[in-house]
């Protein structure tokens, strides 16, 4: 829920009970004021009635109103106490009982006692309530509208720095750290927020940078020890009196070192790509590169009995680093060879700025978004490092290419969109 | 044949020295920039192996120094930094080859041989091993003066064997030599076997002796007596 809507709701939640209390109060106040007013009027009329009685030449009863409810009656009996009574009278026009205030008073002139009955219909409580409710409903309506307008204005003006910070945050990519900065604003809190964000981002960036350099340096440092092991292994292999068992062990060690060396090399490559160390770029014909690389693997296609279908109809010219272009295509083709099925096939198609490399093979056993993550391997038994596609992904990211994976009709499809 | 090895890691220095010594080279070594610069300035070498990251300086400066002094030595860079910019810089300065660590001694050996061949054997352009004659410039192989037609891989394999003759070379080393970075992609051992079988057959068809010994579990030895 938007902050504005939330504040609006809170305002209303607070103001509604207040309004209800105010409504009740005004109801009671108005009600009693009205009663007092009626009573005063009745008292004045009583005085008028008494004057009327005094002016009578002979004692008699008089009707004071057309409905004969207010009257002066000559009674035989003692004078009683005056008193106000709330009562209901039947209204013929509206055919309902309406509230009325009645003053009954006694007046004795010349030994004749008169009973004065004065009636005044009062405003019905229901009507009063309705009136008050209507008033308050209008007030609430005005409140909501004005809150909404004020909030909207506030968010347009006061909250503006916040929203611009938010959109800057959304755009943030650590690779383009230098392009992002949270500017100074003149609202204290938002300024503090921006300062804190700048500080945090700088820290994250420098940690990230350090981490990246660490990977590269660590891998470099490992090269020399690996070279030492490899060299000594070569020398050891020259021994004349090695037993079969020992030779097998040497072979195992050599294979492992080879794997370690490849792993190291791939890691260095990956961090170099991420560190943007391949700066030079030139116009690359994807068609030329692809067919050249596919050519390099003819031996392999034949030995694995993989059928290759090259369909490079529309060339794509891309501005990129030639080494990276070669690695990108090589890794994709290698991947298609490595994860192919027996007597399988590879289809390479280039059209509409899109290169699709498809190979036969069993469906993935891992979620497809794991494909491009380092060391996530589909088939652990296969002799792969689990870095090839991460490198592909890294290169694609560098140049803003889109990579898609899809599996259909027993074929894995890797698509590179060069747009 | 004199080689100067400039490498700061003592164990690696020792191994390379030993391997090359067995090949019949005279190997001198230097562990840091100052010593290397001294030796390179005073003596003549046929080949200099230089590491780029050295204590007290850069291997690249030694290459510069050698070239300024008009040295005729072949230069091979051996570096832990497999970076194309270093490679280009080194080759621009006049280095002849670049080998990234970790490398195989057999690979280093074959690079040195190729380099020395290019530099020194201008008059004598062929390699002769008993009945086999290789003319590297034309990538041509004769057995008993008869031309043997080899595929590119078979030729490379033969040359690699001969460069490392009487040595055990592992299948991995061969695979890396023949296919470079792509070698981990191969079911390389079967693959080498196929190429080797064809090579052997072609050589023996022309009356060549079978020099290739299979070293169980590891690889092969191109054994030439004498």
Of B94, B89, B83, B202, which is closest to residue B148 (Cα–Cα)?
A: B202
What is the C-alpha to C-alpha distance for residues A128 and A133, in angstroms, rounded to an integer? 9
Residues of chain B contacting A, Cβ within 8 Å: 9, 11-12, 15-16, 18-19, 22, 80-84, 100-106, 153, 167-168, 170, 172-173, 176, 181-182, 184-187, 190-191, 194, 215-219
Cβ B182–A383 below 8 Å, yes or no? no
pLDDT in tens, B129-181: 889 999 888 889 999 999 999 999 899 999 999 999 998 999 889 988 888 76
The pLDDT of residue A352 is 87
pLDDT at residue B209 tops 80 = yes
B102 prior amide bond cis, ω within 30: yes
Label residue B184 by pLDDT band (50, 70, 90). Answer: low
Percent of chain A residues past pLDDT 90, beyond the cut: 23
Give the mean model confidence (pLDDT) for residues B209-223.
Answer: 89
Tokens in use for B217?
Answer: 């579990």
Contacts of A296 in chain B (CB under 8 A): 182
- Taking the Cβ of residue A223 and every Cβ of chain B, the question of whether any pair is shorter than 8 Å is answered with yes
Give the mean model confidence (pLDDT) for residues A10-17.
Answer: 85
pLDDT in tens, A84-108: 888 888 777 777 777 788 888 888 8
Contacts of A232 in chain B (CB under 8 A): 11, 15
pLDDT in tens, A219-246: 888 888 999 999 999 899 888 888 888 8
Using only the alpha carbons of chain B, give its radius of gyration.
Answer: 18
Residue among B77, B217, B221, B222 with most chain A CBs within 10 A, to mutate: B217
Of B49, B44, B38, B45, which is closest to residue B16 (Cα–Cα)?
A: B49
Tell me how long chain B is.
Answer: 226
Chain B: nearest CA to A389, how far in angstroms?
14
Range with the lowest mean pLDDT among A320-329, B68-77, B140-149, B185-194? B185-194
Contacts of B153 in chain A (CB under 8 A): 299
pLDDT in tens, A111-162: 888 888 888 887 667 777 788 888 888 988 888 888 888 888 887 888 888 8
Label residue B76 by pLDDT band (50, 70, 90). Answer: very high
Of B4, B68, B16, which is closest to residue B40 (Cα–Cα)?
A: B4
The pLDDT of residue A96 is 78
Residue that is written with structure tokens 């460069």 in the block:
B163
The alpha helices in A178-318, defined as continuous H runs, are: 188-237, 244-274, 286-296, 298-303
pLDDT at residue B123 tops 60 = no
Contacts of A304 in chain B (CB under 8 A): 187
Label residue B185 by pLDDT band (50, 70, 90). Answer: low
pLDDT in tens, A17-55: 888 898 889 888 988 888 888 889 888 988 888 888 888
Give the mean model confidence (pLDDT) for residues B80-86.
Answer: 74
Beta carbons within 8 Å of A83's beta carbon, 6+ residues apart: A103, A104
At A278, phi and psi to the nearest 5?
-105, 85
Residue among B10, B15, B108 with most chain A CBs within 10 A, to mutate: B15
Chain A: nearest CA to B155, how far in angstroms?
15
Give the mean model confidence (pLDDT) for residues A253-260.
Answer: 88
The pLDDT of residue B109 is 93
Classify A224 as helix, strand or coil.
helix
pLDDT in tens, A131-141: 888 888 898 88
Cβ B105–A259 below 8 Å, yes or no? no
Tokens in use for A158?
Answer: 């006061």
Cβ B217–A248 below 8 Å, yes or no? yes
Q: What is the mean pLDDT of chain B?
A: 88
């Amino acid at each position: 829920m938007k902050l504005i809507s939330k504040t609006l709701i809170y305002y209303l939640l607070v103001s509604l009970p207040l309004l209800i209390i105010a409504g009740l109060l005004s109801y009671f106040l108005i009600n009693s004021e009205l009663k007092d007013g009626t009573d005063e009027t009745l008292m004045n009329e009583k005085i008028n009635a008494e004057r009327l009685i005094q002016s009578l030449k002979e004692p008699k009863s008089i009707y004071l109103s057309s409905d004969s409810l207010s009257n002066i009656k000559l009674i035989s009996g003692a004078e009683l106490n005056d008193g106000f009574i709330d009562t209901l009278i039947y209204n013929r026009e509206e055919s309902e009982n309406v509230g009325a205030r009645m003053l009954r008073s006694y007046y004795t002139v010349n030994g004749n006692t008169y009973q004065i009955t004065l009636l005044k219909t009062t405003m019905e409580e229901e009507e009063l309530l309705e009136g008050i409710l209507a008033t308050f409903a209008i007030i609430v309506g005005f409140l909501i509208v004005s809150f909404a307008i004020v909030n909207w204005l506030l968010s347009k003006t006061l909250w503006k720095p916040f929203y611009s910070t938010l959109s800057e945050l959304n755009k943030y990519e650590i690779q383009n750290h230098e392009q992002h900065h949270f500017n100074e604003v003149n609202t204290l809190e938002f300024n503090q927020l921006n300062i804190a964000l700048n500080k945090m981002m700088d820290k994250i960036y420098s940690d990230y940078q350090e981490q990246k350099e660490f990977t590269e340096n660590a891998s470099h440092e490992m090269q020399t020890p690996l070279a030492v092991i490899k060299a000594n292994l070569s020398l050891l292999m020259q021994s004349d009196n090695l037993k079969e068992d020992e030779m097998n062990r040497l072979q195992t060690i050599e294979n492992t070192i080879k794997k370690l060396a490849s792993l190291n090399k791939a890691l260095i490559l990956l961090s170099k790509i991420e560190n943007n160390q391949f700066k030079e770029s030139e116009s690359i014909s994807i068609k030329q590169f692809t067919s050249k690389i596919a050519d390099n693997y003819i031996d392999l296609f034949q030995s694995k009995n993989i059928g290759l279908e090259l369909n490079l109809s529309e060339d794509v010219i891309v501005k990129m680093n030639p080494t990276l272009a070669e690695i990108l295509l090589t890794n994709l083709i290698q991947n298609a060879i490595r994860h192919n099925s027996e007597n399988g096939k590879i289809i390479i198609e280039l059209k509409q700025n899109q290169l699709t490399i498809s190979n036969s093979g069993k469906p993935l056993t891992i979620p497809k978004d794991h494909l491009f993550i380092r060391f996530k391997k589909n088939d652990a038994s296969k002799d792969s490092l689990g870095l090839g596609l991460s490198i592909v992904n890294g290169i694609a990211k560098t140049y803003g290419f889109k990579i898609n994976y899809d599996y259909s009709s027993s074929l894995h499809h890797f698509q590179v969109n060069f747009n | 044949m004199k080689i100067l090895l400039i490498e700061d890691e003592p164990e690696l220095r020792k191994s390379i020295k030993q391997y090359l010594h067995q090949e019949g080279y005279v190997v001198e070594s230097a562990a840091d920039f100052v010593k290397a610069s001294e030796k390179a300035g005073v003596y003549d070498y046929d080949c200099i192996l230089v590491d780029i990251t050295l204590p007290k300086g850069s291997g690249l400066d030694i290459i510069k120094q050698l070239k300024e002094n008009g040295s005729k030595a072949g230069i091979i860079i051996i570096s832990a930094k497999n970076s194309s910019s270093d490679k280009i810089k080194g080759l621009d300065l006049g280095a002849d080859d670049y080998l990234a660590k970790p490398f195989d001694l057999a690979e280093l050996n074959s690079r040195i041989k190729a380099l020395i061949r290019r530099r020194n054997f201008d008059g004598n352009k062929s390699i002769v091993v008993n009945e086999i004659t290789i003319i590297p410039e034309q990538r041509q192989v004769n057995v008993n003066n008869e031309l043997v037609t080899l595929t590119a891989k078979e030729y490379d394999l033969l040359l690699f064997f001969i460069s490392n003759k009487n040595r055990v070379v592992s299948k991995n080393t061969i695979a890396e030599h023949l296919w470079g970075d792509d070698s981990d992609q191969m079911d390389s051992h079967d693959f080498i076997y196929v190429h080797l079988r064809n090579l052997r057959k072609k050589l023996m068809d022309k009356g060549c002796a079978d020099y290739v010994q299979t070293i169980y579990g590891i690889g092969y030895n191109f054994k030439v007596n004498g």
